[in-house]
Structure 1
Amino acid sequence: MATDNCNIAASVIFLTIIYLGLFGKGNDEELENGALFIFGDSLVDAGNNNYLPTLSKANVRPNGIDFKASGGNPTGRFTNGRTIGDIVGENLGLPYYPVPFLEPNFTSKNILHGVNYASGGGGILNATGSIFIKRLSMDTQIDYFNITRKHIDELLGTTQAREFIMKKSMFPIVVGSNDILNNYLLPILSAGERKVISPDAFIAKLHIKFYQQLSRLYQLDARKFIIGNIAPLGCIPYQKTLNQLGELQCVGLPNKMARHYNAGLKTLVLDLNKTLHGATFVLANVYDLVMEVITNHEKYGFESAGSACCGNGQLGGIMPCRPGSSMCLDRDKYVFWDPYHPSEAANLIIANQLLDGDGNYTFPMNIRKLRDL
């Protein structure tokens, strides 16, 4: 019996040496460029919704038509090419795009470059996006990161894992749009709630919940945060079509709610930078950046700033991009890919500004400076 135990112990030690040699401890190349752990909604979903029974999917053509890594095949990204998260990762030197958490071929080695938890239709509130049936809320996404966090402990050992998460990893979070569009402003779901809670009270509810979620990530050793505010929702083709507006007009109420949320978010970020020791929260001013691109679209090489490249009906804003949808000839000339989401060309402008731009769009520093802290 003693001999058997010794053999088992020797086997465990041997396998552990191989495991760590392949995946973690002491492998500086794997850790050199750090990792992105991406949270949010369809703006940064890299394919998690492919594996959910949901109405919010982008795994059909012509979505992904310009995504070179897949040969132009759809991946579940809600755009014609790369998301902002993809472009940021490339520029920071990540060898792989952060893999969707629900990807069946997910391997332990992948998590050392980051994981994507984002989900089309997801929001800060668990009730948000219920019209789509299934989606991953922020609470669920953080639950999944907790699982990843334990795997990193196993890969690197507790001490090195904590240092990797705190110093080498960044946490981009792009969420909140669905809480307004597909919760509060969605009549068939929210008529009851809108009768008993004001827009101001609803925004306050979002801030309280989001504060709790960010604090939970901090407890899991996240220290470098990139928090995107809400874009001008009233300027997307879907809202213009819904309200029968022209291409150069925007809907007032969604924009007003987005600005109100963003003002409170800035205060929240300032507070978190003061109160959570060792953490740095960068506020990405997506609202003003997207509005700049829309307002001065010709300066950036776009011909259209209000119509969807791929869609149906007025301004292409009625239905999501699907086989048989009308599609523009030059995707690079459109700010919007579909009724809701930017094109890769617009994502590239946004990502580059957030990476290396000045204080107009990132506060208190840009993403590259955050990475180098």
Structure 2
Amino acid sequence: MFVFGDSLVDNGNNNYLDSIAKSNYYPYGIDFFEGPTGRFCNGKTVIDGMCDLLGLPYLPAHANPNLNFSKLLAGVNYASAAGGILDVTGTFLGGRYSLKQQVLNFEEDLTEIKASFSHEDDYNKFLSKSIVVMVLGSNDYINNYLLPTLYTSSYTYTPEQYANLLLNEYTRQILAILSLGIRKFLLAGVGPLGCIPNQRASSTGSTDQCVGQVNQMVGYFNRGLRSLVKQLNTDHPGSVFLYGNTFDALEDILGNPTKYGFTVIDEGCCGVGRNHGQITCLPFAIPCTERDEYIFWDAFHPTEAVNMILAKRAYTGPPDDIYPINLQQLAQL
């Protein structure tokens, strides 16, 4: 499995040495890898949950200096915190890999992988059995469109135009990966960003309510992405593209928290001034003790408990959760 995305699925690509240090900061995360966790979570990300269900080892970061050929064959995580579909997204936060750069990093690794195969047919079979998971788009809103003091995108594009801009660039990079021989894709939609603590706190309304305007913006992107999946499946009959309905899955959890064992839906478990929803969990900050009862770990990211629910819904869920087939069925093809 090869992963492209943002901080929701990142495991240490921005700064490898720094992420090793973060993995040792009590009480965050668990060092599942030989290297860093680098995760914005109290434990496993949704990708880790998928690895568990698929029987795969946890994926190393592309930036891991100890990444060798044997690890490459099991899969790699190219995701980058603050990275987006657009190259300009998140630039104010410093070094990060945009989707375009993540794809270039993937191409670099494939060159090494291909050289190790004696027969090209074996290499092509390896690619055809591999799965690409892409989790992108959130940062293009949070760290771009919704920051009018830093970016002009919200003045230049209507929400619908901006969604189309993102989808056009997304399509280019998806086709670039497809041209390399990958045939299985899972494209995750963006969750209800208007419901994260950061946006609740930024709203002039009550923090008890989601910001409907933001969720409407995300809706344009998600509907376009689902349509793109249908079109890609039509245009490329030898490949399979899935759409992960992250928005509805998270909306279900937010709307029925007790059903899933959650009691806190509008603030993060960790972060200085976590009730204000403005920051991520800082080193040595004291998080809540009832972490399984919180939907959000910090102002932006879900807890491990939520990630495991999302992973299971992607793995065995019906078409309402993942379309047109689920991850388990994709892996069996």
Correspondence 1:255-274 to 2 at 5 A = 255-274=215-234
Q: Is 1:48 matched up with 2:13?
A: yes
- The code of the aligned residue for 2:122 comes to Q
SS of match in other structure, 1:213: helix
Q: Which residue of 2 is the match for residue 69 of structure 1?
A: 32
Q: How far apart are residue 156 of structure 1 and its match?
A: 2.1
Stretch of structure 1 that moved more, 242-251 or 217-226? 242-251
- The code of the aligned residue for 1:150 comes to T
Unaligned runs of 5+ in 2: none
Count of aligned pairs:
331
Residues in 1 aligned to 2:105 and 2:32: alpha-carbon distance in whole angstroms? 26
Bigger Cα Rg: 1
Matched-pair identity in %: 37
> Relative to 1, partners in 2 of residues 1:177 and 1:151: Cα closer, same or farther, differing over 3 Å?
same
List per-residue Cα deviations over 1:297-346 (Å, max 9, x = no partner).
11100111111000132525122101343411111110111110000001
Q: How far apart are residue 160 of structure 1 and its match?
A: 0.8
Q: Which residue of 1 is the match for residue 142 of structure 2?
A: 181
SS of match in other structure, 2:76: strand
> Relative to 1, partners in 2 of residues 1:44 and 1:170: Cα closer, same or farther, differing over 3 Å?
same
Residues in 2 aligned to 1:184 and 1:219: alpha-carbon distance in whole angstroms? 30
Correspondence 1:1-40 to 2 at 5 A = 36-40=1-5
SS of match in other structure, 2:132: strand
- The code of the aligned residue for 2:2 comes to F
Q: Which residue of 2 is the match for residue 159 of structure 1?
A: 121
- The code of the aligned residue for 1:88 comes to M
Q: Which residue of 1 is the match for residue 200 of structure 2?
A: 240
Residues in 2 aligned to 1:278 and 1:70: alpha-carbon distance in whole angstroms? 34
Q: Quick one: which of 27, 40, 48 aligns to 1:86?
A: 48
Q: Quick one: which of 278, 285, 291 aligns to 1:331?
A: 291
Q: Is 1:252 matched up with 2:212?
A: yes
Q: Is 1:207 matched up with 2:133?
A: no
SS of match in other structure, 1:139: helix
> Relative to 1, partners in 2 of residues 1:314 and 1:153: Cα closer, same or farther, differing over 3 Å?
closer
Q: How far apart are residue 204 of structure 1 and its match?
A: 1.0
Q: Is 1:133 matched up with 2:94?
A: yes
Residues in 2 aligned to 1:287 and 1:87: alpha-carbon distance in whole angstroms? 18
SS of match in other structure, 2:15: helix
- The code of the aligned residue for 2:71 comes to N
> Relative to 1, partners in 2 of residues 1:53 and 1:68: Cα closer, same or farther, differing over 3 Å?
closer
Q: CA RMSD in A?
A: 2.1
List per-residue Cα deviations over 1:160-201 (Å, max 9, x = no partner).
1111111x21000000011111111112221x3332322221
SS of match in other structure, 2:87: coil
- The code of the aligned residue for 1:185 comes to L
List per-residue Cα deviations over 1:221-276 (Å, max 9, x = no partner).
11100000000001001111122554531112221111110011111110000002
Correspondence 1:216-227 to 2 at 5 A = 216-227=176-187
Q: Which residue of 2 is the match for residue 116 of structure 1?
A: 77
Q: Which residue of 2 is the match for residue 322 of structure 1?
A: 282
- The code of the aligned residue for 1:64 comes to Y
- The code of the aligned residue for 2:223 comes to A
Q: How far apart are residue 53 of structure 1 and its match?
A: 9.0
Correspondence 1:352-363 to 2 at 5 A = 352-363=312-323
> Relative to 1, partners in 2 of residues 1:74 and 1:368: Cα closer, same or farther, differing over 3 Å?
same
- The code of the aligned residue for 1:309 comes to C
Q: How far apart are residue 61 of structure 1 and its match?
A: 2.8
Q: How far apart are residue 358 of structure 1 and its match?
A: 1.1
- The code of the aligned residue for 2:312 comes to N
> Relative to 1, partners in 2 of residues 1:100 and 1:74: Cα closer, same or farther, differing over 3 Å?
closer
Residues in 2 aligned to 1:263 and 1:88: alpha-carbon distance in whole angstroms? 24
Q: Which has the higher contact order (CA 8 A, sep 6+)?
A: 2
Residues in 1 aligned to 2:170 and 2:197: alpha-carbon distance in whole angstroms? 27
- The code of the aligned residue for 2:7 comes to S
Residues in 1 aligned to 2:269 and 2:186: alpha-carbon distance in whole angstroms? 29
Q: Quick one: which of 246, 253, 257 aligns to 1:293?
A: 253
Residues in 1 aligned to 2:94 and 2:121: alpha-carbon distance in whole angstroms? 40
- The code of the aligned residue for 2:197 comes to P
SS of match in other structure, 1:99: coil
Q: Which residue of 2 is the match for residue 9 of structure 1?
A: none
List per-residue Cα deviations over 1:120-159 (Å, max 9, x = no partner).
1111110111121111111000001101111111222322
Stretch of structure 1 that moved more, 347-356 or 156-165? 156-165
Unaligned runs of 5+ in 1: 1-35
> Relative to 1, partners in 2 of residues 1:53 and 1:208: Cα closer, same or farther, differing over 3 Å?
farther
SS of match in other structure, 1:321: coil
